[in-house]
Chains A and B, each alone.
Chain A
């Protein structure tokens, strides 16, 4: 069997998820024995229109990017959304919250806001534009999980991605719960699999892996009251990474 041809493409993002691929270190060398990278602008000069697996990093912000993504989809057998920008829209989706995008552009770009390359529409996750076969969650992605997903793919099986809250990972790490410090943590409604690095470093979970199925937002309301926080506090927290997700229900 010939090695699958893999191409990595980036859209609007910080390229931190690609960096995690580099951060696989020795494992990246192992990976390279099984795949043939044919395009990866950040790491190599070659490019190709022939690939089996397309890995998409970043969110889709412009019409021209949508077209490019559709073209990539039509060429790839398997498409992987890499990281929160691609899976959810990521922090970029905060821009969708602005009442008037033109105002925003002015605020950042001044008079140049009318330049054609700045013509942006609503920020979209990859799956809002084309069908996605696999999602690697997180901001940034977890390099171990990425390796696992790729190995499953190479073995022809479906990866098992957790569908339970970050609290499970967090307890496994024996971190003190952020709620005990009076902080709002999105761990109870966020999909695990990251290993809960945030609470372990003294930071609340800000939900970068998206919600679990059936997150209990009502439960969260009650907890907010107990900790003298408001639902608005919670919503603001959730907005950081989860503006893109449909309003979950209990």
Chain B
């Protein structure tokens, strides 16, 4: 039986503080003029009215720099995985969709225990979008609302929140909430209305086709002039990849400590836009030209991953659009241009 409660904002604060007292809670907080996930020390710092975070919640499952094993130069290796449970508070629907996609990537073929152990230990408290990010097109991508992939979903209705609990992990958090009434039919109807609006209006840019049309669209546009034109402005700075919730490329490096005998193997976020991403020893670069890298990113989002797993690897958060100083990363503008032929 699904549990759907309604709580006041004050109750929310008390609840979150109770959770913080019990375990690690990451939540959305203001960072300069933007928002970022960070460990919550006080519920008052939680900003569920955020538009978008600088980095996606992916960083908790695939940390920016992650130790995956320890070694000794005598040839001994030992796997390092995280065992700590944690809660992420305030995940927007498009990021919920992205997380589900990452789950698939890291589970497929060879299961990645590092990602999956973090993922299994996480409780995701999703939160419907109160403010649209400056470049968002989630409604176009069908990610403005979400049906599953989270443990709890919060929706702000009136002065309080509907707390929709979907999993046993979610229920476990309710203990700290104490008594709260079930959401009444009127509130639930208002939530339906909110979702309806979100699905229609949560766009700052309008994609002129359905997301599922993208693979076919790209099929014919490999030589389009836009690739070279835009790439002429591209810094190959990788910002668009770094902020993307569905990018997961990584680099792996060994680092020895001062014993010079022991050390760690770490993986770090990498980016296919960077010049040397496909360069092999000896210097041959399989994607030497800027436009090759620039094009690769859009094809990977709109076609390649679709071919592999039937999902478009773009959830419409608009992060790349904002992050790109050259203003050439906006997927909507790019795909719309391709559509013009």
Complex alpha-carbon distance, A202 and B32, angstroms: 9
Complex alpha-carbon distance, A1 and B257, angstroms: 19
A222 with B235, Cβ < 8 A, contacts A151-B260, A160-B253, A168-B271 known = no
Which residues of chain A from 161 to 185 have any CB-CB distance to chain B below 8 Å in the complex? 163-165, 167-168, 171-172, 174-177, 179-180, 185
A164 with B275, Cβ < 8 A, contacts A177-B323, A188-B325 known = yes
A219 with B323, Cβ < 8 A, contacts A164-B275, A168-B242, A174-B55 known = no
- Name the CB-closest residue of A to B256: A151
A172 partner, pick from B32, B64, B255, B258, beta carbons under 8 A: B64
A171 with B243, Cβ < 8 A, contacts A188-B235, A212-B275, A214-B275 known = yes
- Name the CB-closest residue of B to A24: B258
A155 partner, pick from B237, B260, B325, beta carbons under 8 A: B260
A168 with B238, Cβ < 8 A, contacts A179-B325, A222-B326 known = yes
Interface of A is mostly: helix
Q: Mark A122-155, 1 if CB is under 8 A from B, else 0.
A: 0000000000000000000000000110010011
- Name the CB-closest residue of A to B55: A174
Find out whether the CB atom of A165 lies under 8 angstroms from the CB atom of B64: no
Total contacting residues, chain A, CB less than 8 A: 41
Q: Which residues does chain B contribute within 8 Å of A33, judged by CB atoms?
A: 258
Interface: A30 (CB within 8 A)? yes
Q: Which residues does chain A contribute within 8 Å of B257, judged by CB atoms?
A: 151
Find out whether the CB atom of A222 lies under 8 angstroms from the CB atom of B323: no
Interface: A213 (CB within 8 A)? yes
B54 partner, pick from A164, A174, A219, beta carbons under 8 A: A174
Interface: A21 (CB within 8 A)? no
Interface: A44 (CB within 8 A)? no
Q: Mark A87-120, 1 if CB is under 8 A from B, else 0.
A: 0000000000000000000000000000000000
A218 partner, pick from B31, B233, B275, B327, beta carbons under 8 A: B233
Complex alpha-carbon distance, A214 and B293, angstroms: 14
Interface residues of A (CB under 8 A from B): 27, 30-31, 33-34, 147-148, 151, 154-155, 160, 163-165, 167-168, 171-172, 174-177, 179-180, 185, 187-189, 202, 212-216, 218-220, 222-223, 226, 250
Interface residues of B (CB under 8 A from A): 31-34, 36, 54-55, 64-65, 232-239, 242-243, 253, 255-258, 260, 269, 271, 274-276, 290, 323, 325-327
